[in-house]
Structure 1
C-alpha cells in the first residue's frame, strides 16, 4: 500500500469527528453565510444583480467549500482540471467589470470561514490535525486564487486586446461600404446584416452599477448565441438597447433558421428582441443596414410583436412611411375616434382577429353584442366599417398611417 493511500485511510479527525465530513455537513449553511458576508464586506458583490448572487456566485462558493473538504479528506492537492468552474466564473466576472481584488478577497474570505468552521470546538488534542488541515486549506486557496486570477486576466486580454480592435476595424470598413478584404477577421462572401433592438431587462431599472451589469450581461449572452451562427465570430456593435450585427456566412441561410436564431438569442438574453435582417454582399451592407433600421422603427411604432422581420413582412407599412402628401390625410380618417379610445381599441382588435366578433369579444372581455355596437359606431363616425370587406384595407392603412404620424399613442 502506497504512502498516499495510507494517509487517505487515516482520516483527519477534529473534535472527535472526521474533518472532511464536518466541512461537507456544514457546506450548505456555510455557503449562505459566506455569501452574506461577501455582500456585506465586498462592495463589488453587493452591486451584482440578484440573479448572479443566487446563481453562479452561490454555486461557486459551495463548490469551493466542497473542494476544501475533498483536499482535507485526501490530504493532497487538487488536480488542475478541478478548477474549470472557477476559471469560468472569474472570466464572467471580468466581462462584468468586477475588480480582480474583489474576486481574490472573496476566495480569501470563504477559505477563512471554512477554517473557522473546521476549528470550532477543537481541543488541545486536535492541534496536530488542525495544523495539517490548515496547510491543505492554504494550499487549495493558493490554487484557487491562481486559477481565478489567470482566467480573469485572459478574459480581460480578450476583451481589451487586438482581436477586438481587429473586429471593430473590420466592421467599420464594412459599414462604410469599403471593398471586401479577405484578410480581415470575420471576412466572408456574404453577411447577414441585422439591426436588433433589445428590450430592457427588469434588472436594468435605475442608473447604478447593478443596472449597468445587467445591461452588459444581456449583451454578453446575446453575443454568445450570435457568435455561434456564422462561419466566424459575429461582428457586432451593441449597446444596452440596440445595435448592428454582421454575421459572416458562405451561403444564404434559410429564413426560418434566422428566425430561430433570434428566438434563441432572446431566450438567452432573457429579453424580447425585435430585429430586421437582410443577406447582403459586402458592398451592399450599408444599404441593408439603413433599410433594416427603418424596418425595426416601423415595427416598433406600429405595435407589432417582437421577432425577426424583413421588408416583405412590412411592405404596406414601409410604403406608407415614404414621404407623401396623402399620409396625414390617411391618418386623419380615424380622427373622429380621437376621444373614443374604446372604439379605436376595438377596431385594432377586430382587424387583428380577422373580423371575428366572438374572438374580438373574448380578447376585449366584452359581450359579442358590444362588439357589434362599437363596429356600428365606427361606421357612423368615420364612414368606414370594419364589417365591410371593401373598407378593411382603407381602415388598416389608416391605422398604420396613424401609428406613423402619432408614434406616441
Structure 2
C-alpha cells in the first residue's frame, strides 16, 4: 500500500477515532445515553481497535490473533453488560462506515490504487473482526450476561448461513443436523397487526433446542425447531406449537413451514417459508396449521402468472354491486362452506345467506355450491388477497 497515503492515515488516527466515536454517539441511542466518562472509555476502545487495523492494512497482511484481542475485549465487555445485540451491531456499522469515509477523504492525487487496496483489505478482514466480536459477546452472554441476546445471535447466524458452532458452544447447546423453519402470524384484516397480545414464552421454552424471534420480513414469528433425524417429529411439534399459540393468543394464525435438512439449508428454507406464508395468508379457507410448499402449488401458480391473476380477480368485480357479497363469499369459504357457521359468523338469518349466494351466482355466473364454481371462486379470492410482490424462494 502507498506509504504516503498510510502516513496520512496514521497522522490523523486520533481525529478519525474521534469522528467514529461521535458518529456512534449521534446515531446509536444507547451510546448517546452514556455518561461523559463512558464516552471517553468508548474513544479509548476505538483507539485500541483502530491501531492494529492501520498497522496490518499498511502491510496488506491479515490481522493476527494478538491484533484481534482488543475486539475480543470489546465483545466480552458488551456481553457482560447485557448490551443489546442490535445496538452492538449498529455501533459497529456506524463506526466502520465513518472510519472508511474519513480514510477515503485523505486520498490525494498520486496515491494510485492505495484506497482500493485499503478497501479490499477491509472487505477481507471485516467478517473476521465481526465474528471475533460476536464470539466473545456470545461467551460472555452465555456465562454472565443476557442469554437471550446470545440465542438471537445464534439464530441470526443460522438463518444467514454463517458458522454457528462457536455461539452454540457458548450457550452449551449441541446443534442438530438441520432445522424445521416455522413462520406464523395472526390472520387479521390488518397485516401489520403482529402478536400484540404477547407470546406464550413458557410454551416456546418447553421445546428443547427451539429458537425464536420476530421475523421483520414477514411480520410474523420465526421459529427454528431442531430436526435431528428427518423432519417428521419436528413437523408434529410445529403443529402442536401452532395449536398452543392459537389457544394462548385467542386468535387464528397463518403458518408455514420448510425443512432445512442441513444447517447450510436453513437460509433457503427460511425464504421458502416466507413465500409459503404469503400464500397461506391469501387463502380464504386456510386452517390454523403449518402449510408446506407442496400444499400450495395452486396458489403459487396463480401468484406467478399475472395475467391469470388479473382474470381471476375480474371474476369478483361484479360483486361490488351488492352489499357485502364478497365478504359473504370470504366467510363462506372460511367456514368450510358450512352455512350454519357462516350465518353465525355474519350475524345474519339463513334466508339472507341463501339470497346472497343466489346474487353471487347471478352476478358472477359461478355457482358456489358446485365443484367448478367453488374452484374458480376460491382461486379468485386468493388472487385478490395475494401481496403485490411474492417473496422470492431464494431471498
TM (norm. structure 1) is 0.47
